[in-house]
Amino acid sequence: MKQKQQMFLVMVALIVLTATSASAAEIGFSPSSISMAVPTGDSSSTTVAGTVIPPPSMPYSISLQLRPVGGTMPPSWLVTLPATFTNRSGPLPLRLTVAVPTTAKPGTYAALVQPVVMTASIPVAPPSRPLQLAVTVTSKCLGAPTPAIASTEPAEFKAPNGRLADISVAGSIAVPPGCSLGRAWYTLTDEYGIFGETGELVASADGGFSLTTPVQVSRRGDDRDGRAYQFTVYAQDEAGTGASAPAAVVVRHDQRKQP
């Protein structure tokens, strides 16, 4: 007899759980996916309609807040306010604000957004279709940086001796408003295709730079206009790459010694 009573209680519990699960409401979104474009360091808002599915026959109240639960978008970018559904509210507008920090890299980020239920007077099941959010981060940068070589010292060598000698190059990089300098570098090319290099540059806060590198002070005997080395400076930001006009350093054919 006791065993039959226990089996009866188990069956009742299963029926209750099944009925509860079957009658649990979920939050549906319209539209089910949203795409937004947000510049770096800016924010943008949109609204999605939330609906309780299926509509319960009894009075209800559900308080919730939307939260990202997966994807490539950092959760801290999404800002939402708590919302409360009742049997009298019908579809409820849910406001989403995406705030992109200035350090964010341009590109497309995705997120799955779910309602996090804080209080509910009826059973609420997780949505079968989370809200899909796609955020395209755009750059405010509209132009490539402009590097310029102000001086090379020395600009020429008049006494070819086959040794290595240092050349100092100085200049500046102008970065357009709203842009950030990503990389700066230089190339040294040799007219003879023998001596050359590529190196990174570090620009100061005001865009200034300087570098010192050795070259070989020699030229061919039949080279009447001298051996030319050329420096070119490149700088890159979100909008692209800018380059300076080459600055030449010449090893003259003239054999006279420098004073």
Determine whether domain 27-138 maps to CATH 3.30.70.360.
no
Q: Are 191 and 219 in contact (CB under 8 A)?
A: no
pLDDT above 70 as % of the chain: 88
Place of tokens 């009866």: 8
Asked if the bond preceding 31 is cis, omega within 30° of 0, the reply is: yes
> Does residue 23 or residue 71 have the better pLDDT?
71
**Is the pLDDT assigned to residue 2 strictly greater than 70?**
no
Q: What is the value of pTM for the model shown? A: 0.57
Predicted local distance difference test score (pLDDT) of residue 254:
58
Least confident interval from 5-14, 73-82, 123-132, 192-201 = 5-14
Q: Are 149 and 233 in contact (CB under 8 A)?
A: yes
**Is the pLDDT assigned to residue 180 strictly greater than 90?**
no
| Mean of the per-residue pLDDT values of the chain | 87
Predicted local distance difference test score (pLDDT) of residue 12:
37
**Is the pLDDT assigned to residue 230 strictly greater than 70?**
yes
Mean pLDDT of 233-259: 81
Determine whether domain 146-251 maps to CATH 2.60.40.10.
yes
**Closest to 257 (Cα-Cα) out of 161, 155, 154, 159:** 159
d(CA 243, CA 236) in angstroms, rounded, equals 9
- For the chain, the domains span 27-138, 146-251
Q: Are 145 and 176 in contact (CB under 8 A)?
A: yes
